[in-house]
Amino acid sequence: MHHHHGDENVVPAGRHDHGAAGHDHDHGHVHDQGHGSGILAWFKHTFAHSHDIHEKVDDVMESHERGFWATKWALVSLGLTSLIQIIIVWFSGSTALFADTIHNLGDGANSIPLLIAFAFQRRGRSRRFTYGYGRTEDLAGILIVVSIAVSAAVAGYESIRKIIDPQPIEYLWWVVVAAIAGFIGNEGVAILQIRTGRQIGSAALIADGQHARIDGFTSLAVLIAVGGVALGVPILDPVIGLLITATILFILKDAGTAVFRRLLDGIEPEILAKVERAPLHVAGVQEVHEARARWLGHKVHADLHVTVDRRLSIDEAHIITERVQTALADHVPAFGGAIIHICPCSHVETTPSGAMV
């Protein structure tokens, strides 16, 4: 006996429309990571892995809508930041600033595939794409990871080139203004995308936010370079550039691991453990076995076998699957649906007098 519950018919989180063929469960859970305080704690929190935090998702707005909203406003913000930098380039005439502005425009364009992915997911399932368009998010994530790798290569190359052939920084004050604008714009986008990505469980959105944070740190490094020139220590520029390159490589490792793990149907062990434990909260479930789970976009889909009393009627077994579905939605973050296989127990328990129970 198989019971399949998906998200074809959307209902608000926490409600279960039993009269519909499908169910949608959009539950998030807050996990206190105990980051503590101090610089090290800030760094750990800033570069937390995509699976470290599952914050509460707003019941009113569906997760894919939130992802689309965050990506759309990220594009708008990066566009405004680039516009400010273009104006500064126009007044300063700085070739270096012009090149940096073009780079920022290119990075902003990296969010477009992710925006398209969220737009596809809003369409829901179809007869041709029966599981929906969640994989488009993973494909966008790959493009973002590749762009982060390119950023690391460019930052490393530029830093080494400046060590070999130092170039004077011109238009210092214009550079300072452009760097401040770049940092504020990119860091604002990073906070928006990373926070929303953690709320809805989107590795691709978190990766895009981390890329924006990289660009913000690059702008901040320009300020340090200007300070180095003012203090007569121009070598600070390429040295900071190499440090940023190393930081990008760490971010690349985290983002790449999360995106490719999901593409290969990998799942975090703690989420699988929740899938295995949640049904045991339901009266009548004796055992859970052969549990599987995977991410499809930013939703967790599960497949599991539950053992029940073999004397139950089909109606009674169906009620148990409904309750298992509810338990999974309550305990598994970003739950999207499950196929539940009902298995009859292989024995019948008896009382000391020999009566069946």
Domain boundaries, the chain: 46-263
Query: Digits of tens for pLDDT over the chain (357 positions)?
Result: 555 554 443 333 333 333 333 343 444 333 333 344 444 444 444 444 444 434 434 443 478 788 999 999 999 998 898 888 888 878 776 666 676 677 777 777 888 999 999 988 888 788 899 888 889 999 999 999 998 898 888 888 888 988 888 877 777 888 888 889 989 999 999 999 999 999 988 999 999 999 999 888 888 887 888 888 888 888 887 888 888 889 889 999 999 999 999 999 999 999 999 999 999 999 999 999 999 999 998 899 999 999 999 999 999 999 999 999 999 999 998 898 999 999 998 765 544 444 444
Q: Return the H-helix or E-strand segment holding 299.
A: strand 299-308
Q: Which residues contact 250 (CB under 8 A, 6 or more apart)?
A: 47
Per-residue DSSP letters for 161-228?
HHHHS--PPPSHHHHHHHHHHHHHHHHHHHHHHHHHHHHHT-HHHHHHHHHHHHHHHHHHHHHHHHHH
The one-letter amino acid at 242: L
Please tell me whether residue 44 adopts helix, strand or coil conformation.
helix
pTM beyond cutoff 0.75: no
Judge contact between 220 and 126, C-beta under 8 A: no
Please tell me the CATH superfamily of domain 46-263, with its number: Cation efflux protein transmembrane domain (1.20.1510.10)
